[in-house]
Amino acid sequence: MREKKAKFGLGIGIGVVAIFLIGGLIVYSFLSSPEVKLANGLQNLLNEDRVQVESEFDLSYDFDFDEVLSDPYIGEMDEFAFNLVEELFNSLSGTSSIIYDKELDVMEVSGTYGISGDISGEDISLHIPISMYFSGEEDVMAIDLDPYAQFIPDAIDVISYNILPNIEEVQEELELITDGEDVGDFFSRELNDLLEPTIDSLLTGKQFSDTLDLDRDRLFTQLEDNERYVLEFVFEKMIEYLDQQNEQEMITEEDGWIYVNLDDQLLLQSILYAFEEAKEDEDVLEALEEEIDTSVDTAISNIEEFQEDISGEITFDFNIGFLIERGQIVQSVTTSTFSFEEDGVSFTGSSTVNSDYLYGDQAAFSFYDADRDELSEADMEQYFYDLEMQIESRLDDIYADLFEDMYYDEEFDWEAEWDEDYELDWDYDESYYDEYYDYELTEEELELIESIESQSVSHEDFDVSEEEMYYWVLDLEIEGFVEFGTADYYYPE
């Protein structure tokens, strides 16, 4: 009897062990599946207090403007602009860094975006910087202006040497004011000499800030129970749908990497599946409709309508690989292709993004803690006004020199220093200018010109500043409406 009991007890023990072993294997299989690993990795990423994602990316586009360019009303400049976009934005590459700190309530975005292309046989390469941060606690958005102190001169050289000389429509006009000098050399020198002092004082070591105007107190808020409940349900059902389609290998695992293959239709279908599943549970349905602020049926109808609208016009698919170690995403690789077509414009593209993830103390701000002087909106307006005046003054000088060469005796000594007591006997032929401009001056306009030439009016009569008055008279002088030298009488003290 004891032997039977012993055998019976041993049988129960083996059975229990077997059940636990089988159950453990099932649980392990479930917890180690790529779907669950991915879900846990993404959830841990969202729960981290401080994360930095550093990426390198390459994007390439293939534009097709043929249908638009076949329009007989498209001008040469329009055609050049389309070709410029097609050639200049054919390839983009660069780096980016996104870091957020939930405790400080700060997010920083920085990077460089390289534009390269071929314009009329000339290679273009330009790296556009970006550096900014958002602070919920301070309710401020700040833009780092320091990187642009070097970028603007580089951009001027690209425009001067690679773009302006290739605009045939304006080439002859440009050559007029360069007096035979190379167009690129002329504009690079003139613009950089003019802008460099202003750029240095305006941008170097400066930042521009503005209020963020948040609708809530913080950038990063803890998810409410209802929000978390809904997000977890929807995400779980989307993964479930993709798992059901796994004969197409939507989610796979290889050498520790978990890969997700999706296209636009599968993504929308997985969302529709999650919403349909929500209708089977009253609690989930109520919570979901509270979050989306409409009925699930309406949401489903909107998604299906959107799905139908983009069909044939927009397509995309992407493959995302995640390397997950100890429950944390440490690397990701994303490759994607996409296409778009509408109103005679179409383009296709592809991209590759390689990212590293840093957590906690490994994540470091580059701009948020930097020492920068604050530049107000009023400061920027004043700087840009001064810059505008300088540009207008230099252009007026250039066109004044051109005007002298065209309309005055070459033997006249224009290099001599202007003597304000010297009166130039200038024969003003009103009929010539009436014919030249195909415009007949009214009596009031003639009286105005006479009053300006006789200095019987001032800037106060027109409610403008001295500088504005001077440049206005200089324009009239260049156009030939007032005698040469009249603007000198209105030069600001």
Question: Half-sphere exposure of 212 toward its Cβ, with a 13 Å CA cutoff?
Answer: 21
Task: Tell me the average pLDDT across 172-183.
Answer: 75
Task: Tell me the average pLDDT across 77-85.
Answer: 67
pLDDT over 70 percentage in the chain: 75
Coil, helix or strand at residue 470: helix
Q: Determine which of 76-85, 110-119, 286-295, 416-425 has the lowest per-residue pLDDT on average.
A: 416-425
CB 482, CB 451: distance < 8 Å: no
pLDDT range class, residue 14, cuts 50, 70, 90: very low
Quote the pLDDT of residue 418. 39
Q: Is residue 428 over pLDDT 60?
A: no
Quote the pLDDT of residue 329. 94
Domain coordinates of the chain in residue numbers?
34-40+223-340, 48-217+369-375, 379-490
Quote the pLDDT of residue 51. 96
Q: Is residue 108 over pLDDT 80?
A: yes
CB 357, CB 53: distance < 8 Å: yes
Task: Tell me the average pLDDT across 142-161.
Answer: 89
- DSSP annotation of 120 reads T
CB 45, CB 235: distance < 8 Å: no
pTM above 0.85, yes or no: no
Q: Is residue 203 over pLDDT 90?
A: no
**How far is it, in rounded angstroms, from Cα 78 to Cα 197?**
34
Task: Tell me the average pLDDT across 86-95.
Answer: 78
Task: Tell me the average pLDDT across 464-479.
Answer: 84
Q: Is residue 192 over pLDDT 60?
A: yes
Quote the pLDDT of residue 408. 47
Phi, psi (5° rounding) for residue 245? -90, 15
Stronger pLDDT, 346 or 155, i.e. the higher one: 155
Query: E strands, 388-484, where?
Result: none
Which of 37-41, 244-248, 437-441 tops mean pLDDT?
37-41
Task: Tell me the average pLDDT across 448-465.
Answer: 87
Tens of pLDDT, residues 205-256:
999 998 888 777 778 776 566 677 888 888 888 878 887 876 667 788 888 8
Stronger pLDDT, 484 or 271, i.e. the higher one: 271
Give, in degrees to the nearest 5, the angle at Cα 409 between 403 and 413: 95
Q: Is residue 439 over pLDDT 70?
A: no
**How far is it, in rounded angstroms, from Cα 274 to Cα 65?**
39
Tens of pLDDT, residues 263-310:
888 889 999 999 999 999 888 899 889 888 899 999 999 999 988 888
Chain-centroid distance, C-alpha 479: 40
Task: Tell me the average pLDDT across 94-107.
Answer: 94
Which of 70-84, 318-332, 452-466 tops mean pLDDT?
318-332
Q: Is residue 482 over pLDDT 60?
A: yes
Q: Is residue 343 over pLDDT 60?
A: yes
Stronger pLDDT, 390 or 360, i.e. the higher one: 360
CB 317, CB 337: distance < 8 Å: yes
* Beta partners for residue 321, in sequence order: 259, 333
Quote the pLDDT of residue 35. 78
Q: Is residue 410 over pLDDT 60?
A: no
Stronger pLDDT, 201 or 407, i.e. the higher one: 201
**How far is it, in rounded angstroms, from Cα 103 to Cα 218?**
10
pLDDT range class, residue 198, cuts 50, 70, 90: confident
**How far is it, in rounded angstroms, from Cα 399 to Cα 106?**
51
Q: Is residue 437 over pLDDT 60?
A: no
Quote the pLDDT of residue 118. 66
Quote the pLDDT of residue 130. 93
Two tokens, residue 182: 């190379």
